[in-house]
Structure 1
Amino acid sequence: MISSVSIFTSLAPYMILSALLLFLLLEQLSYLVKKRHLPGPLFVPPIIGNAVALVRDPTSFWYKQSATAGNSVGLSVNYIIGKFIVYIRDTELSHQIFSNVRPDAFHLVGHPFGKKLFGDHNLIYMFGDDHKSVRRQIAPNFTPKALSTYTSLQQLVILRHLRRWEETSSAGSRPVSLRHLVRELNLETSQTVFVGPYLDKEARNKFRTDYNLFNLGSMSLPIDLPGFAFGEARRAVTRLTETLAVCAGKSKSRMAAGEEPTCLIDFWMQAIVAEIESGNPPPPHSDDDEIGGFLFDFLFAAQDASTSSLLWAVAMLDSEPEVLNRVREEVGRIWSPESDELITVDQLAEMEYTRSVALEVVRFRPPATMVPHVAATDFHLSKSYTIPKGTIVFPSVFDSSFQGFTKPDRFDPDRFSETRKEDQVFKRNFLAFGWGPHQCVGQRYAMNHLVLFIAMFSTLLDFKRFRSDGCDEIVYCPTISPKDGCTVFLSRRVAAYPALSLK
């Protein structure tokens, strides 16, 4: 007996080593079987795959995936922390993913480890009747009346921040990096538009801290332990959704008292309260906790995507003086800062060229360059390839934006003019707001925000880029941004800033 134990003890290290080697061999074989003929690395580091390369330099990582896919059938593969991934460069293949978001095909995840990070109460994880029901509930949030309310709030926040930026720049004597400033602008805009009166100053500050933790964790390795950025981000999301759930409850009480909506959550809760007061049961997924999760979904979509678009708008306006001059001429014909009046929704609609510039910014530099999905089952994507169950699939919105369009590498707002209408002619390539059942529900709000920013920034401020080597290179943080954070000199362009106010 003692001899048997001794033999086992002496052999144990070899058995463990053999089991580990067998696991690693099976991992590599599994990867190669799933890879089949598609381009991608022939060998991947054990267990973590190429996660280190992704986290260290996401721009280079995804550029290589795109370049590899472009040399073959529009697909390439890789391996990230136990997950086989497929990158899709071809637009029509991407459409097959967007059009098949359902329980037995693809699940939208928004982030490679999104469900663990965002939590369960999130609109992007819903399907079928549940998804349609919630989108119907959300519809009152984006009516013309609601959007008009938001545009007024957006302008007040934009003006407040533009004044602050110009002061920071000391009237153009020193350059300022706009990345963090724009993030602060957008975070205040989201807080004000989404849940306006329901967050006091202390709650807003805590909200800002938690959202910054979330941003940091979303770009980190998915290690859900204390002290690691991903774990801190997951706990921050929990606190954020709890805060938003409290706002939903306060709004329900206020709308039940018959008060007028002043922000997005009010328009949403007003419809729910009306449904209940008419004698019907509460709509599905309308309790405060679930609404808090949905609001966080809005916040994530609005905050980081909008930050990206505003930065690239400034970068492109600086690079294209003729475009900037045309924007200023158009806005000057329609709105005067000296009037001390807010831009109305009718005036906003008149700014056709400025809206074309905004659309071209979104096409030329789509904020979310990819939209990750998980294959719920084996999916026959093409004649030569079936996506294996469990694969994380990355349809590339960025690559689609440079397919089909006339001279797609050129920044050309006129492609969206009434004469050319390339947003309709090549609409299958314009995927910045998604496609299919999960197309962005707030895209009109997002475009209004970008148009308002371009109009006010270009009218109220003079600006010049502080150029450095590689300043226009793309970096991920987590949506794309100019490498230098869009560093500019700023000075006031008008005699006095408008005295805007809600009336």
Structure 2
Amino acid sequence: MDSIWSSLALLIPFLISLIVFLILLEQISYLRKRRTIPGPLLVFPFLGNAISLVRNPTNFWDLQASFAKSSSLGISANYVIGRFIVFIRSSDLSHKVFANVRPDAFHLIGHPFGKKLFGEHNLIYMMGHDHKDLRRRIAPNFTPKALSTYIYLQQKIIFEHLKRWESLCSSNRSKPIALRLLCRDMNLETSQTVFVGPYLSAEARENFNRDYTLFNAGLMKLPIDLPGFGFWKARFAVKRLCETLAVCAGQSKAKMMKGQEPSCLVDFWMQETVKEINAAAESGEKAPFSDDIEIGGHLFDFLFAAQDASTSSLLWAVTLLDSHPQVLQKVREEVSAIWTPESGALITAEQLREMKYTEAVAREVVRFRPPATLVPHIAGEDFALSETYTIPKGTIVFPSVFESSFQGFAEPERFDPDRFSEERKEDKLYRRNFLAFGSGAHQCVGQRYAINHLVLFIAMFTSLIDFKRHRTHGCDDISYVPTICPKDDCLVYLSSRCANCPSFM
């Protein structure tokens, strides 16, 4: 026994020396990669600044932005769990990343540990010909005919949820209610209904909602892939979600083979897929991108993109309309001249196109508070970002959509929907700074759907509801959940402004 303790006593100094050496090596590696760009002078061993990122992401990214402002290049550095990261504030440099001029220069990852969480199926990880080919096949999902079909589904769900919110506020004895989770639930139902509506049973929706909550929680956790941890639970929740959506794709495919009319997004997709399957069968081949599991994975990509980003935009729309009553008044005047809930009819695609100012408000909401503030990529090779700095291979690069939104535009810190008017056309003049929907090959394919949803919500919410924010100190500060939302979860008082509204059902 004494000999064992003696051996351990001799081993301990060696282990301590090894740990100290590894820590020193890590610091040297970080400093060598950081070179002259601003960032923390030293980083916590092995974890880097992961704890501060998880505990308070708002402060973490604000600090990175302040570092970048002090840099002539508009970039800054940090270190998180063995990964060197570069934050990009400059719009021009962000475009270099989005453009991905060489196939292996940058790979969009969506989340610092996204591949492990989302799986290999994800559309955002695809590059080159396969990516272009799949986007071409997705295009029928967002034609004017398809979007018109979605508009009616979106409105019915919005209306039913607005009624519930108003009733909840009434039964709450005029206390404010928090809209964040209510908006999330509304958007989850909207996404499910628009994307795979008739193929999800009530039980499947309940399981779906539970798994999506686990996934959402895991996005903000440390990537500890062990049983019981949030990240591990999220990874398996994604697997179950994709399997559920794969079943929906198979059922839709069977329906489209019978020549029936599409009633949701997956139907429009499968309508074209069935044509390719039939054409390929004649030559004895298998149609590409026709596997149900693969399609289910891509459907999850759509749902994720639509769900959290949309929730963020709806919350900021309510917040910004409340703090800008003159904008709210102009919205109500425009909408009432085109559509009223008392008509008993839903907003048509033609009426939606007439709501020019309301759409300008929606676009300004997205510019002023872009939901996904950062679009992480990984450097596939050493990349010369400028003449003075080369991003090392393996670096996680964070182009900041948020920072770009406040560059170039006239008085960018002011919420001003008129900047998107036909007279001022700032959306065209400063297009390079409006990156809320990304840029390059991976630019959001569903941005028209997203804008339609926001315009419909604003039009119906302002027509059906009188609302007032419950304002407290810091209530409008930015909170990451993981997209951004008001710090207080958007506390509001609601009351009906439409006493005899029909149900639209």
Q: Same fold (TM over 0.5)?
A: yes
2:499 alignment counterpart: 495
SS at match of 1:346: helix
Matched, 1:389 2:390: no
Partner Cα distance (1:175, 1:185) in 2: 18
2:70 alignment counterpart: 71
In structure 1, runs of 5+ residues without a counterpart are: none
Partner Cα distance (1:496, 1:124) in 2: 46
Matched, 1:272 2:269: no
Compute the RMSD of aligned alpha carbons.
1.6
| Structure 1 residues 8-157: aligned runs within 5 Å | 10-72=9-71, 73-100=73-100, 103-157=103-157
Cα deviation code 1:340-370 (max 9, x no counterpart): 1110000000000000000000000000000
SS at match of 2:479: strand
SS at match of 2:166: helix
From 392, 397, 402, the counterpart of 1:398: 402
In structure 2, runs of 5+ residues without a counterpart are: none
1:371 alignment counterpart: 375
SS at match of 1:153: helix
Deviation at 1:398, TM superposition (A): 0.1
| Structure 1 residues 325-474: aligned runs within 5 Å | 325-474=329-478
Structure 1 range deviating more: 9-18 or 433-442? 9-18
What is the identity percentage for the equivalent residue pairs of Structure 1 and Structure 2?
A: 66
Partner Cα distance (1:102, 1:157) in 2: 43
Partner Cα distance (2:288, 2:106) in 1: 23
SS at match of 2:468: strand
Partner Cα distance (2:56, 2:174) in 1: 33
SS at match of 2:170: coil
1:478 alignment counterpart: 482
Cα deviation code 1:374-415 (max 9, x no counterpart): 001100000110000000000000000000000000000000
Deviation at 1:497, TM superposition (A): 2.1
Partner Cα distance (1:173, 1:481) in 2: 23
Partner Cα distance (2:131, 2:153) in 1: 29
Contact 1:102 1:127 in 2 (8 A): no
SS at match of 1:468: coil
Partner Cα distance (1:155, 1:68) in 2: 44
Contact 1:248 1:292 in 2 (8 A): yes
SS at match of 1:47: coil
Contact 2:362 2:455 in 1 (8 A): yes
Partner Cα distance (1:276, 1:212) in 2: 35
Partner Cα distance (1:128, 1:453) in 2: 36
Partner Cα distance (1:449, 1:105) in 2: 34
SS at match of 1:411: coil
Deviation at 1:6, TM superposition (A): 9.3
2:322 alignment counterpart: 318
Cα deviation code 1:403-444 (max 9, x no counterpart): 000000000000000001111000000000000000000000
Contact 1:179 1:485 in 2 (8 A): yes
Structure 2 letter corresponding to 1:66: A
Matched, 1:287 2:297: no
Contact 2:277 2:290 in 1 (8 A): no
| Structure 1 residues 231-310: aligned runs within 5 Å | 231-278=232-279, 279=282, 281-310=285-314
Deviation at 1:5, TM superposition (A): 9.6
Contact 1:380 1:386 in 2 (8 A): yes
Partner Cα distance (1:5, 1:102) in 2: 57
Partner Cα distance (1:363, 1:240) in 2: 31
Contact 2:39 2:78 in 1 (8 A): yes
1:226 alignment counterpart: 227
Cα deviation code 1:61-106 (max 9, x no counterpart): 1001001101112011000011000000011010100001754100
SS at match of 1:170: helix
SS at match of 2:504: coil
Residues 6 and 493 (structure 1), Cα distance of their counterparts in 2 relative to 1, 3 Å cut = closer
Partner Cα distance (1:286, 1:31) in 2: 44
SS at match of 1:434: coil
SS at match of 2:393: coil
SS at match of 1:169: helix
Matched, 1:158 2:162: no
Residues 102 and 296 (structure 1), Cα distance of their counterparts in 2 relative to 1, 3 Å cut = farther
Structure 1 letter corresponding to 2:209: R
Cα deviation code 1:213-265 (max 9, x no counterpart): 01111001000111111110011001100101111111101111111110000
Structure 1 letter corresponding to 2:379: A
Partner Cα distance (1:282, 1:323) in 2: 54
Partner Cα distance (2:357, 2:456) in 1: 12
Structure 2 letter corresponding to 1:291: I
Structure 2 letter corresponding to 1:258: G
Cα deviation code 1:124-153 (max 9, x no counterpart): 000011001110110110011100000000
Question: TM-score normalised to the size of structure 2?
Answer: 0.97
